Amino acid sequence: MPPREWNAASYDRMSDPQVAMGLDVIERLDLRGDERVLDVGCGSGRVTEQLLARVPNGTVVGTDGSQAMVDQARERLGDRVELFAADAAELVVDEPFDAILSTATFHWIPDHDRLFARLHDALRPGGKLVAQCGGAGNIANVEAAIAKVDHPALRGWPGPWNFAAPDETVERLTRAGFTDIWAWLQQWPLDPPNPREFFATVILGSHLERVPDEDRMPFVDAVIDAMTVPLRADYVRLNILARRS
Ligand SMILES: C[S@@+](CC[C@H](N)C(=O)[O-])C[C@H]1O[C@@H](n2cnc3c(N)ncnc32)[C@H](O)[C@@H]1O
């Protein structure tokens, strides 16, 4: 399945929490400022813009599986960043990168072995991969609410997410040829600023594609109603550091 399209304007409005998480991840890149860096799953470009500020003498390239996201990122970044649409699991680059950043993206990609092999080949020898995505246990309380709502169109569907654990991630990165690997989980509970739009765009977008139009916002409301008050999404992040040998 190719990556789906996102509501990019809404994501741009709703992604304050993702930007806050992304800033932490950028710090781990430990940049000098003259590197060639790729942002994989750049979305609407808000984290990419923060990355750009830390590479004043280098090059930033962004890629995303959603053309709408790439267009939204281009609106924000103009020609300061080269942008292209691609499935990260099929990524091929002309010139290797010193570093790859990725935030809030890998859990949308089903085959991490394939993904890591493509990212490995996109790095120069010694190049760094610094990433964060949803990890094992991520938003378990939202998954429980979705199960409670039990929409007929979603029965039997395993859901869109691949929330991996650190151990299996280390094994996959090793198989792909990475070294100096660290992978760990981090709790990041968050109270969405505008729950209806946040849930519809950031969390439940793939679910909504499967339910009839007229059920979409009622489904979002039912999921929110099925959660405890005060509303909190129990985010658990999988952090990844690795180096191409
Ligand atoms: C939650 S957004 C994160 C965007 C940005 N990195 C941020 O932190 O705000 C997830 C992004 O992953 C992208 N994505 C999902 N599957 C993908 C794939 N197979 N290849 C490339 N991008 C993908 C989506 O299009 C979306 O822009």
Q: Examine residue 167 and state whether it is found in any structural domain, yes or no.
A: yes
Residue pair 187/212 in contact (Cβ under 8 Å)? The answer is no
Substitution site in 105, 235, 238 for ligand 1 pocket (most atoms within 8 Å of beta carbon):
105
> What pLDDT was estimated at residue 151?
98
Q: Examine residue 228 and state whether it is found in any structural domain, yes or no.
A: no
Q: Examine residue 89 and state whether it is found in any structural domain, yes or no.
A: yes
Would you list the DSSP string of 52-115? HHT-TTSEEEEEES-HHHHHHHHHHHGGGSEEEE--GGG---SS-EEEEEEES-GGG-S-HHHH
Instruction: Give pTM, 2 decimals.
Output: 0.98
- How far, in Å, from the CA of 176 to the mean position of ligand 1? 21
> What pLDDT was estimated at residue 36?
98
Q: Examine residue 102 and state whether it is found in any structural domain, yes or no.
A: yes
Q: Examine residue 25 and state whether it is found in any structural domain, yes or no.
A: yes
Q: Examine residue 17 and state whether it is found in any structural domain, yes or no.
A: yes
CATH number of the CATH domain containing 104: 3.40.50.150
The span from the first CA to the last CA of the chain, in angstroms, equals: 31
Residue pair 79/67 in contact (Cβ under 8 Å)? The answer is no
Domain assignment of residue 176, given as a range:
8-137+161-191+234-244
Q: Examine residue 213 and state whether it is found in any structural domain, yes or no.
A: no
Q: Examine residue 90 and state whether it is found in any structural domain, yes or no.
A: yes
> What pLDDT was estimated at residue 193?
84
- How far, in Å, from the CA of 42 to the mean position of ligand 1? 6
Q: How many domains does the chain have?
A: 1
Condensed to tens digits (0 to 9), the pLDDT of residues 46-97 reads 999 999 999 999 999 999 999 999 999 999 999 999 999 999 999 999 999 9
Q: Which residues are bridge partners to 38 per DSSP?
A: 61, 100
pLDDT < 70 positions in the chain: none
Q: What residues line ligand 1, using a CB cutoff of 6 Å?
A: 3, 6, 15, 18, 22, 41-43, 46-47, 64-66, 69, 87-89, 103-105, 108-109
Cα–Cα distance, 187 to 51 (Å, whole number):
23
Taking the CA of residue 4 as reference, the ligand 1 atom at the shortest distance is: 25
> What pLDDT was estimated at residue 98?
98
> What pLDDT was estimated at residue 1?
80
Taking the CA of residue 102 as reference, the ligand 1 atom at the shortest distance is: 6
